[in-house]
Chain A
Amino acid sequence: MSTRKTLFDKVWDSHVVKHIENGPDVLFIDRHMVHEVTSPVAFLGLKNRGIRVMHPEKTFATADHNTPTINQHLPVTDPLSANQLKMLEENANEYGISYWGLGHEKNGIVHVVGPEYGITLPGATIVCGDSHTSTHGAFGAIAFGIGTSEVEMVLASQCIMQPKPKSMRININGQLQYGVTPKDVALFIISQLTTSGATGYFVEYAGDVFRNMTMEGRMTVCNLSIEMGARGGMIAPDETTFHYIKDREFTPKDEEWGKAMDYWQTLYTDEGAEFDKELTFDGSQIEPMITYGTNPGMGMSISNDIPNADAVQGGVASYKKSLQYMNFDEGDTMIGKPIDFVFLGSCTNGRIEDFRAFASIVQGRKKADNVTAWLVPGSHKVEAAIKEEGILDILTEAGFELREPGCSACLAMNDDKVPAGKYAVSTSNRNFEGRQGPGSRTLLASPLVAAAAAVTGKVTDPRELMEKEFA
């Protein structure tokens, strides 16, 4: 075997406690993020076995999935959600885990607050009982979602048993066109690979398109890795990364910082290292994207027509069923389709950069009357920045309201549900049947596309509303 290693190999191999012949690796986990929905049964398992959490100091709990996004100072009205939140708080207290519950200044979506407070670090292994844990890969960490049995494993032993995934590199170079955001890049990749195209792989994103992205943008891309089936995605850390994490609450300080930097600077794929699969795309060809079906792979350039069933990979029957659910036809154009809801938020696009982009379009315009808009910051920190930067004024002026942080309409476990048959342009990550509420119809898109829809009331190419120089 060659001694040239990929970024993924370097991080993975340094965390293997034990390799089991013809079986999984026992992988040590540096950071474990916990939320209210996928943890109660895991804690119950610990109790039944009579064991403690092995490393509470490496475990962080936040409430986000089923929390309301208005009146967070009041008791949660849904009894089941309230019970889950109470359980998380009790479990966190019992096992000495830091808990950022509702109303806590650090509260927010698990994948938004992790990076904000420096819990997410390059070269770390990070897991959480949520598939979009892949977000943290933006920092050069190995981060992936796990099931509840695995949550219990990590609580009990700080380890997880995983076969090492195959490796894939996706290279994108070239100048992105104006109006094209990291979300579009990700939706483009998924549309090319389909939702199962990277199953079994861990992806590294390489090329100047990703190099030139902010950390927020990189997080959006890595976040969506799971939507092409990949366990996770990662980007080698660089000056942008180090600059972002420096001086955050949980990042190493002083001497420790220096030592950490020495290590972090070795985190790149060696020249000549081999991947099991390598793909290359031209960034300058990507356009603003939108989805028209019921999985994230059913996306296209916003100005294209919905493909015919025989032109797509996969089953014709499943494809037709999907269009039927959306009430769209093959050959339809998406431009001009009336919409009912707009959701700006989630761990995909609920960061400050996303609110800036949204505001850049709605500034000086008015929310369309037929649109209900939910603008949900990913965390209190994002909420504070929205206010500080004057974005809230722009939004209010345009007729929008800002809600309180949480997952919200991304999975509609709280009251933010899109009614049956209604269309939502959503900056979240999944357009599955009923994802945003039973019978809801979701069009995934960037914050720019969402903003254009919010002010026109229909699917609109955001470039028509943008100054040429805005990129």
Chain B
Amino acid sequence: MAYDKFNILKTSAVPLPIENVDTDQIIPARFLKATERKGFGDNLFRDWRYNSDDSPKQDFILNNPIYSGKILVGGKNFGSGSSREHAAWAIYDYGFRCVVSSFFADIFRNNCLNIGVLPVQVSPEFLDKIFQAIEADPNTELEVNLPEQSITIVSTGEQERFDINDYKKENLLNGFDDIDYLLNIKEDIREFAKSRPL
């Protein structure tokens, strides 16, 4: 599915300083029954966000109007567990375009990249600085610059570079997805398939 191009994103951020946030928390299994990619944002972090009677849990960060923005900042090992792309969809659908953490689970990272959410991996020290800056001032802005591969805490100017492979970077900058690429090399694939009769 095509998605919006990603270039420079400058916005405030929502902090979630918890480690090992797994995809079952991001979107619980009972919300995976849709057959279209719609409405997942409403159930993002469902069980942390709402009580069983659907009333909002006041102490959960997404229910706190002080925090907003298009960047979600999570603790180490973000997105572990299930391969459900619905987790990335929920994050996108809620309005986030970028997730920052000091460590991402593999499949989650791929899923994000495939739908136009940029995972930015920073050092544990830089992650702490971001959390501290937001704690001191919830309006703290972060600037994520994809062409430069940098993330900056705007108020202090502190900056770190992040990694992304050239291919994925091009895709995100242009809003391309892998299927466009694969369909273009279909003849090569057909040739190859002949050598794999299995």
Are A150 and B114 within 8 A (Cβ)? Answer: yes
CB 8 Å contact bits of A110-150 with B (1 = contact, 0 = none): 00000000000100100001110100000000000111111
If A21-B166, A51-B183, A434-B24 touch, whether A38 touches B110 (CB-CB below 8 Å) is no
Are A433 and B37 within 8 A (Cβ)? Answer: no
B182 → chain A closest CB, angstroms: 4
Are A30 and B165 within 8 A (Cβ)? Answer: no
Are B75 and A318 within 8 A (Cβ)? Answer: yes
8 Å CB contacts to A: which residues of B63-115? Answer: 75-77, 80-86, 88, 103-107, 110-111, 114-115
Are B36 and A147 within 8 A (Cβ)? Answer: no
Are A231 and B76 within 8 A (Cβ)? Answer: no
Residue of chain A at shortest CB distance from B191: A17
8 Å CB contacts to A: which residues of B162-198? Answer: 165-168, 177-179, 181-183, 185-186, 188-189, 192-193, 196, 198
Are A17 and B165 within 8 A (Cβ)? Answer: no
A3 → chain B closest CB, angstroms: 21
Report the separation of the CA atoms of residues A25 and B58 in the bound assembly, to the nearest whole angstrom: 46
Q: List the one stretch of A40-48, A272-280, A391-399, A449-457 in contact with chain B.
A: A40-48
Are B1 and A318 within 8 A (Cβ)? Answer: no
What bracket does the count of chain A residues touching chain B fall in?
35 or more
CB 8 Å contact bits of B12-46 with A (1 = contact, 0 = none): 00000111101011001110111111000000000
B62 → chain A closest CB, angstroms: 16
* B47, CB-defined interface residue at 8 Å: yes
* A240, CB-defined interface residue at 8 Å: no
A181 → chain B closest CB, angstroms: 23
* A199, CB-defined interface residue at 8 Å: yes
Are A26 and B182 within 8 A (Cβ)? Answer: yes
Are B105 and A229 within 8 A (Cβ)? Answer: yes
B56 → chain A closest CB, angstroms: 16
B198 → chain A closest CB, angstroms: 5
A351 → chain B closest CB, angstroms: 21
Residue of chain B at shortest CB distance from A51: B183
Q: Which residues of chain B are near A434, meaning CB under 8 Å? A: 24-25, 28, 47
* A243, CB-defined interface residue at 8 Å: no
B25 → chain A closest CB, angstroms: 6
B183 → chain A closest CB, angstroms: 7
CB 8 Å contact bits of A23-59 with B (1 = contact, 0 = none): 1101010110000011011001100110100110010
* B156, CB-defined interface residue at 8 Å: no
* B55, CB-defined interface residue at 8 Å: no
B89 → chain A closest CB, angstroms: 8
Residue of chain B at shortest CB distance from A256: B197
Q: Which residues of chain A are near B28, meaning CB under 8 Å? A: 434, 438
Report the separation of the CA atoms of residues A419 and B182 in the bound assembly, to the nearest whole angstrom: 45
If A28-B193, A157-B186, A420-B52 touch, whether A413 touches B76 (CB-CB below 8 Å) is no
Q: Which residues of chain B are near A45, meaning CB under 8 Å? A: 1, 179
Are B165 and A156 within 8 A (Cβ)? Answer: no
Q: Which residues of chain A are near B76, meaning CB under 8 Å? A: 196, 314-315
* A412, CB-defined interface residue at 8 Å: yes
Q: Which residues of chain A are near B83, meaning CB under 8 Å? A: 38, 129-131, 133, 145-147
If A66-B33, A157-B182 touch, whether A38 touches B84 (CB-CB below 8 Å) is yes
Query: Among B24, B34, B110, B111, which residue has its beta carbon within 8 angstroms of that of A433?
Result: B24
Query: Among A22, A152, A158, which residue has its beta carbon within 8 angstroms of that of B166?
Result: A22
Q: Is the interface of A mostly helix, strand, loop or mixed?
A: loop
8 Å CB contacts to B: which residues of A200-240? Answer: 200, 229, 231
Are B165 and A161 within 8 A (Cβ)? Answer: no
B135 → chain A closest CB, angstroms: 14
Report the separation of the CA atoms of residues A158 and B23 in the bound assembly, to the nearest whole angstrom: 26
Q: List the one stretch of A67-75, A80-88, A331-339 in contact with chain B.
A: A80-88
Residue of chain A at shortest CB distance from B110: A147
Residue of chain B at shortest CB distance from A20: B167
Q: Which residues of chain B are near A149, meaning CB under 8 Å? A: 1, 85, 111, 114-115, 177-179
Q: Which residues of chain B are near A385, meaning CB under 8 Å? A: none
* A169, CB-defined interface residue at 8 Å: no
Report the separation of the CA atoms of residues A195 and B21 in the bound assembly, to the nearest whole angstrom: 11
A223 → chain B closest CB, angstroms: 13
Are A153 and B182 within 8 A (Cβ)? Answer: yes
Report the separation of the CA atoms of residues A154 and B178 in the bound assembly, to the nearest whole angstrom: 11
Report the separation of the CA atoms of residues A195 and B19 in the bound assembly, to the nearest whole angstrom: 11
Query: Among A40, A231, A411, which residue has its beta carbon within 8 angstroms of that of B107?
Result: A231
Are B88 and A147 within 8 A (Cβ)? Answer: yes
Report the separation of the CA atoms of residues A31 and B82 in the bound assembly, to the nearest whole angstrom: 20
Report the separation of the CA atoms of residues A117 and B33 in the bound assembly, to the nearest whole angstrom: 28
Report the separation of the CA atoms of residues A200 and B37 in the bound assembly, to the nearest whole angstrom: 28
A154 → chain B closest CB, angstroms: 9
Are B80 and A156 within 8 A (Cβ)? Answer: no
Residue of chain A at shortest CB distance from B186: A157
A217 → chain B closest CB, angstroms: 23
Point out which of B36, B104, B192 has the most chain A C-beta atoms below 10 A from its C-beta.
B192
Are A121 and B166 within 8 A (Cβ)? Answer: no
The 6 A-B pairs with the shortest beta carbon distances in the complex, nearest first, are A23-B167, A147-B85, A80-B33, A147-B111, A145-B83, A40-B35
* B interface residues with partner A (beta carbon < 8 Å): 1, 17-20, 22, 24-25, 28-30, 32-37, 47, 52, 75-77, 80-86, 88, 103-107, 110-111, 114-115, 165-168, 177-179, 181-183, 185-186, 188-189, 192-193, 196, 198
What are 5 residue pairs bridging A and B, where the CB atoms are less than 8 Å apart in the complex? A161-B178, A411-B24, A411-B29, A434-B25, A434-B28
| Known contacts A51-B183, A147-B83; 12 further A-B pairs (Cβ under 8 A) | A20-B167, A24-B168, A40-B35, A58-B198, A78-B33, A80-B33, A84-B35, A130-B83, A148-B85, A161-B178, A318-B19, A411-B29
